[in-house]
Amino acid sequence: MVKVLMSNLDVNRSSRSAVAIVPPESLWEPINAIRKKYDREIVRWMPHINLVFPFVHPDGLEEQRDRLTAAVATVSTWEVTLGRFRYFKHSSNRASVWLDPQPREPLEALYAALVAQYPHLDTAQRFEAGFTPHLTVGQTKTLVLGRRLVDELNESWRPLTFGVDALTVMRRNLRAPYEVAYRVALMG
């Protein structure tokens, strides 16, 4: 049995930071046009695909830079396409609507590399499907509304493709929106 040694920062997880993939700002407008209508978190978050959330206390983010760099040292860049909408059903019969990034395999590999470095921050184990990469665009009060919204959005959506070449480490102050703390480049 391997014993994992953790620092105080490892144990001190915080919802005031996250590790994510953030599309280029040039692609935000069509995503945010939908989010303005349906996403109650639009003011809190920029468009993003969460990888590790919660992460560590914002005061300790800089100390994690080398560890994150080591975690992704063998992860190559790739292109991702946000082409279709899907939804998650919640136990309250509500739904979250999201863009499905494809291909998923590189995101899953990136997530696995991060969890290998931060196993205690693996929140996907709480879900039956495990880690599901997604970019949330909204929430609905019922599952039926979620299904309808997904069908409606898929009819008019033009897929967006962008290169993934870095992780984005985000932080926020108590009631402020998330901001970019720094980026960690992937292998070219």
**In-domain check, residue 100:** yes
Q: Using an 8 Å Cβ cutoff, are 60 and 12 in contact? A: yes
CATH for 18:
3.90.1140.10
Residue 125 domain-assigned (yes or no): yes
110 inside domain:
yes
- Per-residue pLDDT band for 188 (boundaries 50, 70, 90) equals low
> How much is the pLDDT for 138?
98
Residue 7: what pLDDT? Answer: 46
Whether residue 1 lies inside any domain: the answer is no
pLDDT band at 179 (very low <50, low <70, confident <90, very high): very high
Quick check: is 43 in a domain?
yes
* Angstrom distances, CA of residue 133 to CA of 20, 32, 43, 64, 147: 10, 18, 21, 22, 19
- Kindly report which listed range (1-5, 85-89, 143-147) carries the lowest average pLDDT score: 1-5
User: What pLDDT is recorded for position 127?
Assistant: 63
CA angle 151, 156, 104 (to 5 degrees): 70
Residue 3 lies in a domain: no
At residue 37, does pLDDT exceed 90?
A: yes
Residue 89 placed within a domain: yes
pLDDT (0 to 100) of residue 10: 46
Average pLDDT over residues 43-53: 96
Q: Is residue 114 part of a domain?
A: yes
Total domain count, the chain:
1
What is the residue range of 141's domain?
8-185
